[in-house]
Structures are given as C-alpha cells and as structure tokens.
Amino acid sequence: MLLATAAEMREIDRIAIEEMGVPGIDLMERAGSEVARAIAEEHGPIAGKRVVVVAGSGNNGGDGFVVARRLREAGADARVALVGAREGMRGDAATARARAEGAGVPVRALGGTGSSDQGDGSVAAAVASALDGCDVAVDALLGTGASGEPRGEVAQAIGALVAFTGPVVAIDVPSGIDATSGGAPGPAVRATLTVTLGVAKTGLFLEPGRAHVGRLRGVPIGIPDAAVARVAPRASLFEAGALRLPARAPDAHKGNAGRVLVVGASPGLTGSVYLAGMAALRSGAGVATLAVPRSLQPILATKATELMTFALPETKAHVLGTPAAAALLDFAEGFDVIALGPGLSRSAEVRGFLGAVLAAWRRPLVIDADGLWMLAKGLPRLAKASARGASIVVTPHVGEAERLAGEARAAIEADRVGFARRSAEAMEGTFLLKGNPTIVGDRDGRATLNTSGNAGMATAGAGDVLTGVVAGLVAQGMEAADAARAGAYLHGRAGDLAAAALGWRSIVAGDILAHLPAAIREVDERAGHSPLDPRSSASSG
C-alpha cells in the first residue's frame, strides 16, 4: 500500500484537477459519498440515527457537507455544526455546503472569528451541545492541508470532539494530527474510525497519530492512477501477504543454506551475540558462528550448543582492537554475511577494529548496537564501504541514529520516514530505523513502514534478535533491503505471538526468539510452503 505525505497528496490532487481535468467537486462528492457509505456500514442501520458533522470551512469541511447530505438521503437525522461563518467557505466547499442546505440538511454556524487565539469557550460549548445525544460524530474540521497547532475556534471544536464519549469518524486524518509525521502539536481528535481518501497518509501509521486513528479504512475518490504515478510517493506499508522467504533445495546441506558470522561481545555483554546467532539459525541459516574476544570464547562455547565459536585476539580490556581485524577477515572468508556490533563495547580500542573491517570487507554486512555507536557521523564512511562492494544494513534505534547521522533527535522524530530515506541514500545502503513502527529506508530513496510488533518488545536484547534475523535472511540469498523489510516483519510478528501467549508486559528477548519459528511458519504456509512437504526436506549434517 502506497503512503503519501501531505505535500505529495496535494500535488496528486492538483495534477488530477488542473492537468487531467477532473472537477474538484466530483472528487469531493465521491469522497463524501464513500465516507457516508463507510459510516452506514460501520454503524448501520443508519436510518433514524442522529449524526452530527463538525465541519471546518475548507475542503475537509466540504467533504463533511457531502457526508451529511448522503446520510440524510439514507434516512439519518444528519446535521452540520459549521465552525466558522458560511461566507468563509469558498470554491468546491461552498458548493458542497449549498447542495447540502438545498437538500434540507440543518446547518448551524458557530463562531466565525476564525483563528483567534483568544476565546471564551463559547464554540466548545456550542459544539458540545450539538453533539449531545447524537449517535455518531463526524470530524470534518481539518484535512491534509493543515499544519501546526490548531488554534482558536478549531481548537475548541477539537476539544469538544475529544470530550465526546460516542463514536467519532474522522475524514481523511483526525483533526490535529499531522498527515505527514503523525505528530500532534496540540489538541487532536481521537477517532474510532478514520476513512482516508485516495492514497493513505504516512501520519496515520506513525505515533502518536496512529493511536488517534482507530480502525482505518481507505476509499477511492476517483483520482486517476496516472496522477498518483506522476508524483510516485516513495513510502509504502509492508505487505506481509506478499512476503516470500528464500527456498531451500531438497538436497541442501548446512554449508550452502547460509553462513552467518556474528562478531561482538565484551565483558558483561555476552548474551547479545548468542541471541543474534540463534536468531540467524532460527531464520533459516545453516551455520552461525560467534567470533568473540579470546577470554570470552569458553563462556559462549558452553552456552551456545547449536552455535560454533571462534576466538579473536583481544586487548587488555578483553575487547576487540585493531589486531583482531586481520584474524577476523581471514576467518570470515567462508561466510556469506557478518553481523557486527552486538555487545562489542564502546571502548576506544574498538574503533580501530571497526575501521579495519569496514575498509576491507567486500560482502554483506549488518551493523547494530555498539558497532553503530562507534560510527558517529559515519554515513559517509558507510557509503565508501558500500562503494567498495559491501552491501550494508544498519539497524539503529533513534538514539543510535542521532549519533550515526549527526542529526538532532527532535528533527528525526519530526520526520522519521524522510530521515530513514535520506540516511539510506547517504550511506548507499539499507537504513532500518527501529521504533513503533520500524521504518526501512533503501538506497533508492524508498521507505517501507513495518506492520508488526508491540510495545512489549521494548526490552533488552530484542534488537540483537532482529540483527540475527536480518543477517540470516541475507545469508540465504535475500537482497539486503528485502531482508531488512522481511526481518523487521518477522521480528515484530514473533513479538506479537509472544505477547498473545505471555502478555506484552512480560516479554523478554528470548521469548521473541522462541516465537520466531511460528512467525516464519505463518509466512511459509501463506506461500504454500508446507514444512511437512517431503519435497522441501533437506539432508542433515
């Protein structure tokens, strides 16, 4: 599913109307009719129900007038509370208002002073009075063209809708939510249903906006596909139903099923490489080996029954320094991918080790955790490594991303989708920005928003599991960006299964790892790959 920013949606509308000759009032009529249909299906039978449309004076309000007219034609007691003066409406919105009034829709204009920051609360009280006793409220105050904090009468009206205890249906975007970033700089409607028009908006899938959407329904409004193609929105929602995992030949053996080398660990941080290695195996890789400081190798060899281990030269602090790089690179020749960083430590000695690996490695590389921390403002260095042949995936949370890209956290949070896209282009690789939702930017400037996961996954070690899943998929032959998208989904889905089984509050990283096979099995079964099919069996050893 394509996702558009507010600016992209405005340009799509402009092309459709100004260059392709689609009358704007036709788009408004289709939009309002589809929203009315959605309301009738959600809250029907609609005849006799009282529906109050709280409308602004712009095009979103015009859509609301069409909704009221269509619901009244269907037998509902539909009316409009207009926040502002009738004469403040222009163009298609004014036409929609006139048609609604001509069809007998009662319209009550409230206030009329517009955006004044000062108010006695009269509009809030009037909207609350209009909503009293109604069955469904419709939010038609602000659309995708709105930005910044709602003020004056509109803010009062939003407050009244927030206080309303019945169902609220938002047209396109809940008022007060930024259609691009999902931000809520001021009061914002919390809808029970949002009916988004044409192309869905990115802000509907980003927090805190996503929490205000309720159920989401997308409807077509007659925008030509060619107008969307001209703008070519560069964000999309991950489609789990289309996911296909790498096939395994019937005569496969562990050596050609994917070989992952996990590099990291330091005193007190041995569990991270174990989680990453096990996740690589659980994702389908045939071999996973942990390359760790020499003094830690016996610890991990004891714990990691299914994993192999390799001891690297270490510093006096028992971490990996520059001398370990040569040994690692020599040993890594037989592996398909390196997962670098879990538990690596933030010791200054690690910086030389990391630089030497980046300068010499020419194959896929997944970097996480301390590996990212040591790459402050390191996107240009990653681009150079990419140019030398390395296919790189980085998996930062926002704190690591702030350091890696050299951008302020507030700027990142204000435009997480754009940030992931820009960062991927800058590093000429794949930028997986962890969060709710996780966003994967690829080197072509596209961004994919993940659809799985829950807040219970905010637990130590969860990111190490993700690193292992991505590396395991890369080892099996998936392209880096595809592996990052698939890995993010599988990781989140495993977390959802863990939450369903255990309760979200009690999830630990090992639970995500334990539910990973079930998440993968879901995907394989959707694709028609039965784990019991003898044609899919592989030789042992």
- Residue 298 pLDDT > 90: yes
CATH 3.40.1190.20 for the 253-536 domain, yes or no: yes
Question: If you average pLDDT over residues 403-427, what whole number do you get?
Answer: 95
CATH 3.40.630.30 for the 2-233 domain, yes or no: no
pLDDT in tens, 237-251: 999 999 999 988 888
Question: If you average pLDDT over residues 270-295, what whole number do you get?
Answer: 97
Strands (E), 11-118: 50-55, 77-83, 107-110
- Residue 119 pLDDT > 60: no
C-alpha span between 274 and 264 (Å, rounded): 10
Q: Please state, in angstroms and as integers, the Cα–Cα distance from residue 217 to each residue in 170, 295, 309, following that order.
A: 10, 56, 50
C-alpha span between 139 and 160 (Å, rounded): 11
- Residue 532 pLDDT > 60: no
Of the listed ranges 118-122, 354-358, 402-406, 428-432, the one predicted with least confidence: 118-122
* pLDDT of amino acid 540: 41
Residues of the chain above pLDDT 70, percent: 96
* pLDDT of amino acid 250: 84
Closest to 459 (Cα-Cα) out of 496, 511, 396, 497: 511
Binning pLDDT at 50, 70 and 90, where does residue 536 land?
Answer: very low
One fold for 2-233 and 253-536: no
Query: At 439, is the secondary structure helix, strand, or coil?
Result: strand
* pLDDT of amino acid 541: 47
- Residue 40 pLDDT > 50: yes
Question: If you average pLDDT over residues 222-233, what whole number do you get?
Answer: 97
Binning pLDDT at 50, 70 and 90, where does residue 537 land?
Answer: very low
Mean pLDDT, the chain, as a whole number? 94
Q: What is the pTM of this model?
A: 0.91
pLDDT in tens, 165-202: 999 999 999 999 999 999 999 999 999 999 999 999 99
- Residue 224 pLDDT > 50: yes
Question: If you average pLDDT over residues 474-495, what whole number do you get?
Answer: 98
- Residue 118 pLDDT > 70: no
Q: Where are the domains of the chain?
A: 2-233, 253-536
C-alpha span between 257 and 328 (Å, rounded): 22
Structure tokens at 120: 């006695």
- Residue 443 pLDDT > 60: yes
C-alpha span between 50 and 42 (Å, rounded): 14
Between the two ends of the chain, the Cα-to-Cα distance in Å is 42
* pLDDT of amino acid 229: 97
* pLDDT of amino acid 53: 98
CB atoms within 10 A of CB 428: 18
C-alpha span between 104 and 81 (Å, rounded): 14
